[in-house]
Amino acid sequence: MSELRDATQAQVESNVLSRVVTALGGMVLEVTEQNPRRGWVRVDPARIREASRIMFEGQKGRLATVTGIDVRDGIDILYHWCLDAENYVVTVKALAARPSMEIDSVGQDLPACNWIEREMHDLLGAEFRGHPDMRRLILADDWPEGAYPLRRGFHVPKVDGTGKRETDDWAGAADPAKTVTPSPSTPKTPGPGRSLINVGPFHPLQEEMEFFQLYCEGETVVDMDMRTSYNHRGIEELSSRLTWDQVPFLVERVCGICSASHPWAYVRAVEDICGIQAPPRAEYLRTIVAELERLHSHMLWIGLAGHFLGYNTVWMWAWKYREPVMDILELTTGSRIHYANNRIGGIRRDISPDLYGEIRKAVDSLKAPLELITKAVIDDPVLHARLKNVGVLSYADALRWGATGPTARGSGVPIDVRRDDPHGAYDQVEWEVITQPQGDVFAKAVVRCLECFEAIKIIEQCVDQIPDGPIAVDVDHVPPGEGCSRYEAPRGETFHYVRSDGGAGPVRHKIRAPSFVNIPSFKASCIGQHIADVTIILASVDPCYSCTERMARLVDAETGKPLGTFNDMVRISQERTRRLRKEA
């Protein structure tokens, strides 16, 4: 990366990057063009808020995520902007310099950056001036202030055989006598005439523990708050301790339903650094597995949505017809989940041509059941009454909150990484990006139903067109550099950033799953809605699920008296469906 006396005069081949540099003007300090679809621009930290406004409003960029990196001079902050219509990602860099490590908050203008900045404050200690809500998000409220898990040299105190800390020596922790206690994540007082309903942090529809606090007047939600990371697993830190070839086995465990998503995004980011591409056969095989996974994920969601609405027949249908997909995944990869098949430069195991017929037979068997399920969703007047105009996420709010996947496409935002950043075999087969303009729960259900048919089309074409040849290229060394990759997981865009110093593994690995940007958009779609609709509005973004969570409590905000459980919320939701069925 070269220092430029006048960065706006940098010679770059991409018209997109040239236009962005010109728009940012005198705030640009450095420019690097990595390849025809990636560019890096360093700007004056004092003008990062202005730069972000230009990227969002002027360049129509979508903020995918932000990466924070502990460097010698402070915290290097990387804002990854996706220009989807032009197949380009521009990373805008700004340094939060020592000793204060402060920088203006982008989150005060753009809700999509709110959670990301809170996460960087918790894990790296970056300070964001003007942020509207700098409470803890990732770390527990009793975590010692000044101890930042992603700082270099961080370590936790040793523990004895019972798990008790032997000392209070946290690496990097500030002097407790000089420490300012962080703002707690406790809820604000509801106020007169309002009740507080807690959903979580343990809940059957959330893989990561999220805590949703609903402020209600009567049975209408008028405000809400949320908190995440009750089960933080430290995968980004663990990744930096592994070799390049070990990381795919780690990141496929970010989500069991999306076991192909994170490994593929990771290996593409490393391939970006190496300047290589997997052989055509490997790309086709990756695509087949990815679309099989999309089928099983969408059908799982359709079944659970039916259950929470009181349509248990739809639940049983969807899960029954999902089983052939799981069987084919096991037949082709050796496992129903955690396929352990992606590697840098290709895949680990080939698919025998003898299995092509089994794959075609399995997906062909889904067509009639999917048509039945789709008609049950689209044509049912009760579901129309139950789901239409419920939990509307407008087109503008979808952009402001950075929503992705079916959540965004259900609001009419035509983004899909498979088309916008072509990879695998997606640019070799015919398929359509499914969108619906209404933005309500019904629209998101329709998008997922119709995407199942597109997945079948992609799989069938890949099986017919799959070329012969090697399944991987050898990679002996990963050079120093930076790479980023995105992948269209069933829930939306998965984003990975990887930095290499030429060593045995990544020195920084940033992972942003789609739920991290989709779940906050719940605030824009939930307010003004009926309590009985809250569970299905939340479920409509398809948050990462976990079998360990449940509704914690429902209490009267003034007396503290328990009012019900999560099962009561489900019962209320199903009773409303039965009432509408009688009225229809």
Instruction: Check whether 565 has a pLDDT greater than 60.
Output: no
Instruction: Read off the amino acid at residue 282.
Output: A
Cα–Cα distance between 405 and 580 in angstroms, integer?
Answer: 30
Instruction: Check whether 161 has a pLDDT greater than 80.
Output: no
pLDDT band at 515 (very low <50, low <70, confident <90, very high): confident
What residue has token string 């908190």? 227
Contact present, 441 and 536 (Cβ < 8 Å): yes
Amino acid 256: pLDDT: 77
Q: What is the mean pLDDT of residues 51-75?
A: 95
Instruction: Read off the amino acid at residue 229.
Output: S
Identify which of 313, 314, 269, 319 has the alpha carbon closest to the alpha carbon of residue 296: 319
Instruction: Check whether 563 has a pLDDT greater than 80.
Output: no
Q: Three-state SS across 374-411?
A: HHHHHCCHHHHHHHCCCCCCCHHHHHHCCCCHHHHHCC
pLDDT top residue among 541 and 504: 504
Please tell me whether the peptide bond between 543 and the residue prior to it is cis, using omega within 30 degrees of 0: no
pLDDT band at 212 (very low <50, low <70, confident <90, very high): confident
The pair phi, psi for residue 47, each rounded to 5°, is: -120, 20
What residue has token string 């119709």? 450
Instruction: Check whether 338 has a pLDDT greater than 80.
Output: yes
Strand ranges for 135-219 from DSSP E = 195-199, 211-217
Amino acid 2: pLDDT: 36
Which two tokens mark 172? 């990097």
Give the burial class of 303: count Cβ atoms within 10 A of its Cβ; 0-12 exposed, 13-18 middle, 19 or more buried: buried
Instruction: Check whether 25 has a pLDDT greater than 60.
Output: yes
Cα–Cα distance between 459 and 466 in angstroms, integer?
Answer: 10
3-state secondary structure of 79: strand
pLDDT band at 234 (very low <50, low <70, confident <90, very high): confident
Which two tokens mark 281? 């056969």
Which two tokens mark 37? 């679809």
Amino acid 225: pLDDT: 82
Give the burial class of 547: count Cβ atoms within 10 A of its Cβ; 0-12 exposed, 13-18 middle, 19 or more buried: exposed
pLDDT band at 190 (very low <50, low <70, confident <90, very high): confident
Q: Could you tell me the domains of the chain?
A: 1-146+180-186 (3.30.460.80), 192-232+516-584 (3.30.390), 235-513 (1.10.645.10)
Q: Which of 422-426, 446-450, 492-496, 565-569 has the lowest mean pLDDT?
A: 565-569
How far are the Cα atoms of 378, 407, 448, 449, 580 from residue 373, in angstroms, in the given order?
9, 20, 11, 8, 20
The pair phi, psi for residue 311, each rounded to 5°, is: -100, 70
Chain segment 521-562, per-residue pLDDT in tens: 988 998 888 888 888 888 888 876 433 222 333 444 455 454
Neighbouring CB atoms inside 10 A of 104's CB total 20
Chain segment 347-358, per-residue pLDDT in tens: 999 999 999 999
Identify which of 320, 424, 431 has the alpha carbon closest to the alpha carbon of residue 372: 320
Amino acid 551: pLDDT: 32
Q: What is the mean pLDDT of residues 239-266?
A: 90
Instruction: Check whether 13 has a pLDDT greater than 90.
Output: no
β-bridge mates for residue 511, sequence order: 496
DSSP string, 246-259: THHHHHTTS-STTT
> What global pTM score does this model have?
0.86
Instruction: Check whether 231 has a pLDDT greater than 80.
Output: no
pLDDT top residue among 538 and 441: 441
pLDDT band at 573 (very low <50, low <70, confident <90, very high): low
Which two tokens mark 30? 């450095």
Q: Which of 175-179, 213-217, 528-532 has the lowest mean pLDDT?
A: 175-179
Q: What is the mean pLDDT of residues 250-274?
A: 90
Amino acid 554: pLDDT: 40
Cα–Cα distance between 547 and 372 in angstroms, integer?
Answer: 28
Amino acid 3: pLDDT: 40
Mean pLDDT of the chain: 85
